[in-house]
Chains A and B, each alone.
Chain A
Amino acid sequence: MRRLVILGGGTAGTIVANKLRDRLDDSSWKITVVDRDDTHIYQPGLLLLPFGGTGDILKPRGRFIADGIELVMAEVARVDAEASTLEDGRLLPYDYLVLATGTSPRPDQTPGMLGKQWRQSVFDFYTYDGAVALAHALRHFDGGRLVVHIVDMPIKCPVAPLEFTFLADAYLRERGVRDDVELVYVTPMSEVFTKPIAASRLGSMLDARKILVETDFVVERLDPDAKRLVSYDDREISFDLLVTVPLNMGADFIARSGLGDELNYVPVDKQTFLSKKYPNVFALGDASDIPTSKAGSVAHFSAELFVENFLQYVQGNPMTHLFDGHANCFVESGDGKALLIDFNYDTEPLPGRYPVPRLGPFSLLKESAINHRGKLAFRWMYWNVLLPGRPIPLPANMSMAGKHQPREQE
């Protein structure tokens, strides 16, 4: 009996487990998924919670793990070359290991962030509890300085802080208090997004909404008494309400096992996800160090290619389904509209239509109501098609069809 152990039952871990259970013979392969809890969160849904969105975000993990897969609820203590050790002392030997334990916000990494203002005037929205607490604070916020802030890159869903800002602008307008609020966007980057054409479009959208932008701001500490952020080069930004994206880091057991980089991400080959250290370890989704967005779409596309590669690899054949870094993200822009961006390792987000050239129905890098409806509809797809491992008729690698280069590039 050969043993495949998958650590993490989130987007990547669940899809891979289900697809491989279908493709690997029950009598010769045992598949085990390990996670610390039984709650699967539809993470894109967290963005809408602070603005009164609800529903269908939390479901039991086990419901999405197919029959014939062993599901173990436990914390992982350590991983060695031949086995995973769980916190309770159990050993899970493996022939092949998939690390799919994601990335998590770590407010403890910024001095002062978890001080007396935490969840009073300082909030995150990448956790369920944080998003719910922020909804309450936003409902009672009638004026002052609202600062949206990123500690450092990379973060999961790098467009989410921008989306949050657009949605906050619309929400405050709807409540009739936007004129009493100074809205500030604070980023450690030199521009509001990582790729130039999209950065320029998204930057103009912030300008049009009278949102102030502070760039190259690398936070050193948060001063809870004065309610301000202080940067390493001694700039200060005060706030009445702070919505921060804490430092994102991979799981601590990855560091303890000597498998991670400085942020606990697993160095892997960016086309096959094979660990650079062990020939029987892979890392998928947000847990790896591949140079593309940490996003559900990347987890999904790479999981599909990984399944084909894995079947080749365990038979001793070369892996031929190479990943190009494809990411595809809806960007909510408020007032029932959204943009869509589609890009990979080599091609930045460009304007055009997706997935069908000229017809769409989705517009790339342009606001539309259809994009917004696409984002909302995706939740149903996620639970009912994506996680069970059913096929989705979209290519895993990026296509240039329907995209065009703007004539003038900034």
Chain B
Amino acid sequence: MPITTIGSSQIHVDSEGFLTEYGEWTESLGETLAAAIGIELTEAHWKAIRFLRGDFAVQGETATLRRVSTLANIPIKELFTLFPGKPAKKMAYIAGLPKPRGCV
């Protein structure tokens, strides 16, 4: 796995830049990752990101868009506004989680 340095921290990432170590993530790293893809995190963004972190800790899988929408009670439309284009991937990237499985 490649190691990259973001800010002052060294982190393990996959070939597309998704963190591979759950424990290496911090909220400030989340802000840096968000900035790298042009997103400034507001409280609305954090609601989704914190849900993803907590859900992954229990489930061991990155939540799908529908799961975030249903369980964190955020309309899918709003997720597209907060994380334009590919919200599921962008949320996972910022939250330091594996790319969502996209299913099988």
Inter-chain contact A153/B80, CB cutoff 8 Å: no
Chain B residues lying within 8 Å of A233, measured Cβ to Cβ, are 80, 84-85
Contacts of B24-67 to chain A: CB distance below 8 A: 61, 64-67
Take A158-B103, A291-B104 as given contacts and tell me if A218 and B70 are in contact as well, using a CB distance cutoff of 8 Å.
no
Bound Cα distance from A195 to B103, whole angstroms: 9
Chain B residues lying within 8 Å of A261, measured Cβ to Cβ, are 67
Q: How many residues of A contact B (CB 8 A)?
A: 20
Choice from B71, B76, B104 contacting A293 with Cβ under 8 Å: B104
Take A152-B66, A190-B86, A261-B67 as given contacts and tell me if A232 and B76 are in contact as well, using a CB distance cutoff of 8 Å.
yes
Smallest Cβ-Cβ distance to A290: which chain B residue: B104
Inter-chain contact B104/A154, CB cutoff 8 Å: yes
Inter-chain contact A291/B61, CB cutoff 8 Å: yes
Contacts of A129-165 to chain B: CB distance below 8 A: 152-154, 158
Chain B residues lying within 8 Å of A190, measured Cβ to Cβ, are 86, 89, 102
Chain B residues lying within 8 Å of A262, measured Cβ to Cβ, are 64, 66-67, 70-71
Chain A residues lying within 8 Å of B76, measured Cβ to Cβ, are 218, 220, 232
Inter-chain contact A216/B80, CB cutoff 8 Å: no
Chain A residues lying within 8 Å of B84, measured Cβ to Cβ, are 233
Interchain nearest-CB distance for B70 vs A (Å): 4
Q: How many residues of B contact A (CB 8 A)?
A: 19
Instruction: Confirm or deny: A213 has a beta carbon within 8 angstroms of a beta carbon on chain B.
Output: no
Take A194-B103, A232-B76, A262-B66 as given contacts and tell me if A216 and B85 are in contact as well, using a CB distance cutoff of 8 Å.
yes
Contacts of A240-273 to chain B: CB distance below 8 A: 261-263
Instruction: Confirm or deny: A280 has a beta carbon within 8 angstroms of a beta carbon on chain B.
Output: no
Interchain nearest-CB distance for A191 vs B (Å): 8
User: CB-defined interface of A278-294 with B at 8 Å, one 1/0 digit per residue?
Assistant: 00000000000001110
Q: Which of B70, B86, B103 has the most CB of A within 10 A?
A: B103
Bound Cα distance from A158 to B101, whole angstroms: 14
Instruction: Confirm or deny: A189 has a beta carbon within 8 angstroms of a beta carbon on chain B.
Output: yes
Inter-chain contact A194/B67, CB cutoff 8 Å: no
Residues on B facing A (Cβ under 8 Å):
61, 64-67, 70-71, 76-77, 79-80, 84-86, 89, 101-104
Q: Can you spell out 26 A-B residue pairs with CB atoms less than 8 angstroms apart?
A: A152-B66, A153-B64, A153-B102, A153-B103, A153-B104, A154-B104, A158-B103, A189-B102, A189-B103, A190-B86, A216-B85, A218-B65, A220-B77, A232-B76, A232-B80, A233-B84, A233-B85, A261-B67, A262-B64, A262-B67, A262-B70, A291-B101, A291-B104, A292-B104, A293-B104, A327-B104
